[in-house]
């Protein structure tokens, strides 16, 4: 596959691993006192485990798996609301496959489907729009979730629906943004991160400068990275190089896809359709100011919150999540998944308690799938 297989080259990977080892030694990173690099994006977490990079890399470099998995950070109350909408008569509820198994307080979408709700997996919000065109007598709702990478797709879909004047299509908006939770992490006094791998596909939309504050205000290096294994390794090397040279800047390893200033059409569509909520709840992280998006009043006709009378009121939502579930501490890098008392005991992929075990890119599920059943047993 062009533009992918070139970046899976074992020879280059070996050279990068050696170069990383040299740099790691130089900055004094050891197993006992590792350099903590957070890969913000769950896609990066997935690649790290899929290619076994965590086992190949110098022992002084430790990956901390960040909050960049929109399914993982989705509060249970929002899943409950999805089910509530999906169970309304006449509704076709459409979603990406990722969200199907996420547990709510009552049912997951998968369980709601089994109980009779018309819930369909789609690949694209455009497919949900097409369902609405074909089923004029039904209300088609799309579960809009994801970061800035995915937000333009639903914004453009709403704009298209508006152009066509479709009256039976709406989006249940749960879009969230990346920079705000990173700031929240950096403000945490217990934070021990030394640098960041930035989510490349988010930056392909918003560019690299929204991360300037990480380098300028907090003095941490960040390298916006691609998703192939040599992309990740090269980015780790770039972070270590910055540390070794005492620099902290925003660098772009993924320039083949990420323009410095992002994509103007995507950003314009997002700005046209969405506005910021005062705050939004992240599972495990709590309410974070200005981190969630809402459909603007001018597109109210396509807002499922409006159509179904589901508001977002922060105050009512600090419902405790599951006792003993340490998703929050895992997501902020304070503990490894295996240190959670529930990992592999009360919480497994078959019977997940926390969302990090549900989504394939959740740190716990990734640990379990690629490395961790062993870790649980140990």
Partner 1 sequence: MCLGIPARIIAITHPDRLMAMAEVSGVRREVNVACVAGNDLDSLVGQWVLIHVGFAMSLIDEDEAAATMEALRDLGEAQEALDQMRAAEEAML
Partner 2 sequence: MALRDKLVTMAHGSGGKAMRDLIEDVFTSVFQPPGSEDQARLMSESLQKPGARLAFTTDSFVVTPLEFPGGNIGKIAVCGTVNDLAVGGARPLWLSAAFIIEEGCEIALLRRIVASMADEAAKAGVQIVTGDTKVVERGKGDGVFIITSGIGVIPAGRDIGATRIKAGDVVIVNGVLGDHGATILAARGDLALSVDLISDCAGLGHLMDAALTVAPGITAARDCTRGGLASALNEMATEAGLAVELDEAHLPLRPEVAGVCEILGLDPLYLANEGRLVLFCPPDQADSALAAMRACPEGAGAVVIGRALAGQPGRVTMRTRFGGARIVDMLVGEQLPRIC
- Residues interacting with partner 1, by CB under 8 A? 1-4, 6-7, 9, 11-12, 14-16, 18-19, 21-22, 25-26, 41-43, 68-71, 96, 123-127, 146-147, 149-150, 152-153, 156, 160, 199, 201-202, 204-205, 227, 230-231, 234, 253, 255-259, 263, 265-266, 269, 361
Q: What residues line the site for partner 2 (CB under 8 A)?
A: 1, 4, 8, 10, 13-14, 42-43, 49-53, 55-56, 69-71, 96-98, 100-101, 110, 120-124, 127, 146, 150, 229, 349-350, 359-361, 368-371, 373-374
15 binds, among partner 2, partner 1, none (CB under 5 to 8 A by kind): partner 1
Question: 215 or 364, CB closer to partner 2?
Answer: 364
Helices 42-50 and 229-244 cross at an angle (nearest 10°) of 110
**DSSP per residue over 52-78, as a string?**
THHHHS-TTEEEEEEEE-TTTT--HHH
User: Of 284, 333, 323, 313, which is closest to residue 71 (Cα–Cα)?
Assistant: 284
The sign of the torsion formed by the CA atoms of 125, 130, 131, 133 equals: positive
21 binds, among partner 2, partner 1, none (CB under 5 to 8 A by kind): partner 1
Question: 186 or 375, CB closer to partner 2?
Answer: 375
Min. distance of Cβ 179 from partner 1 in angstroms? 15
152 binds, among partner 2, partner 1, none (CB under 5 to 8 A by kind): partner 1
User: Of 170, 169, 153, 247, which is closest to residue 205 (Cα–Cα)?
Assistant: 153
258 binds, among partner 2, partner 1, none (CB under 5 to 8 A by kind): partner 1
Question: 249 or 360, CB closer to partner 2?
Answer: 360
Burial class (CB in 10 A: 0-12, 13-18, 19+), 186: middle
**DSSP per residue over 252-321, as a string?**
ES-TTT--TT--HHHHHHHHHHEEE-SEEEETTTEEEET-BEEE-GGGGGGBHHHHTT----GGGG----
Min. distance of Cβ 312 from partner 2 in angstroms? 22
Min. distance of Cβ 106 from partner 1 in angstroms? 25
Min. distance of Cβ 237 from partner 1 in angstroms? 9
Min. distance of Cβ 258 from partner 1 in angstroms? 7
Question: 104 or 200, CB closer to partner 1?
Answer: 200
Min. distance of Cβ 100 from partner 2 in angstroms? 6
338 binds, among partner 2, partner 1, none (CB under 5 to 8 A by kind): none
- Residues 210, 62: Cα–Cα separation, whole Å: 25
- Residues 276, 294: Cα–Cα separation, whole Å: 6
- Residues 64, 188: Cα–Cα separation, whole Å: 15
Question: 88 or 360, CB closer to partner 2?
Answer: 360
Min. distance of Cβ 336 from partner 2 in angstroms? 17
For 212, half-sphere exposure in the C-beta direction (CA atoms, 13 angstrom radius) is: 6
> Beta 195-199 vs 35-41: how paired, if at all?
parallel
310 binds, among partner 2, partner 1, none (CB under 5 to 8 A by kind): none
241 binds, among partner 2, partner 1, none (CB under 5 to 8 A by kind): none
Q: Which two tokens stand for residue 333?
A: 């890098």
Question: 102 or 222, CB closer to partner 2?
Answer: 102
- Residues 18, 160: Cα–Cα separation, whole Å: 50
- Residues 110, 102: Cα–Cα separation, whole Å: 8
């Amino acid at each position: 596959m062009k533009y992918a297989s070139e970046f899976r080259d074992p020879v280059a990977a070996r050279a990068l691993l050696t170069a990383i080892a040299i740099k790691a030694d130089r900055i004094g990173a050891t197993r006992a006192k590792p350099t903590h690099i957070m890969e913000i994006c769950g896609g990066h977490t997935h690649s790290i485990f899929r290619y076994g990079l965590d086992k190949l890399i110098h022992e002084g470099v430790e990956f901390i798996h960040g909050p960049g998995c929109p399914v993982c950070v989705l509060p249970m109350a929002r899943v409950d609301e999805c089910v509530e909408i999906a169970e309304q008569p006449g509704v076709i509820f459409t979603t990406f496959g990722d969200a199907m198994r996420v547990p709510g307080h009552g049912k997951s979408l998968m369980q709601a489907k089994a109980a009779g709700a018309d819930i369909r997996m789609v690949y694209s919000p455009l497919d949900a729009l097409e369902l609405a065109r074909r089923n004029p007598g039904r209300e088609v709702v799309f579960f809009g979730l994801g970061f800035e990478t995915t937000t333009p797709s639903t914004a453009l879909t709403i704009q298209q629906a508006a152009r066509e004047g479709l009256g039976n299509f709406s989006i249940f908006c749960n879009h969230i943004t990346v920079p705000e939770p990173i700031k929240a992490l950096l403000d945490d006094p217990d934070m021990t991160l030394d640098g960041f791998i930035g989510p490349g596909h988010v930056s392909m939309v918003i560019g690299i400068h929204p991360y300037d504050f990480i380098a300028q205000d907090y003095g941490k290096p960040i390298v916006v990275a691609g998703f192939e294994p040599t992309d990740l390794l090269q980015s780790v090397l770039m972070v270590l190089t910055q540390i070794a040279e005492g620099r902290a800047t925003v660098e772009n390893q993924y320039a083949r896809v990420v323009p410095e200033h992002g994509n103007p059409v995507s950003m314009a569509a997002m700005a046209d359709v969405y506005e910021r909520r005062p705050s939004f709840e992240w599972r495990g992280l709590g309410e974070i100011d200005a981190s969630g998006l809402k459909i603007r009043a001018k597109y109210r006709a396509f807002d499922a919150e409006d159509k179904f009378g589901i508001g977002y009121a922060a105050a009512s939502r600090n419902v405790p999540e599951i006792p003993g579930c340490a998703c929050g501490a895992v997501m902020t890098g304070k503990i490894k998944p295996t240190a959670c008392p529930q990992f592999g005991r009360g919480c497994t992929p078959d019977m997940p308690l926390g969302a990090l075990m549900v989504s394939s890119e959740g740190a716990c599920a990734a640990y379990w799938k690629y490395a961790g059943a062993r870790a649980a047993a140990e």
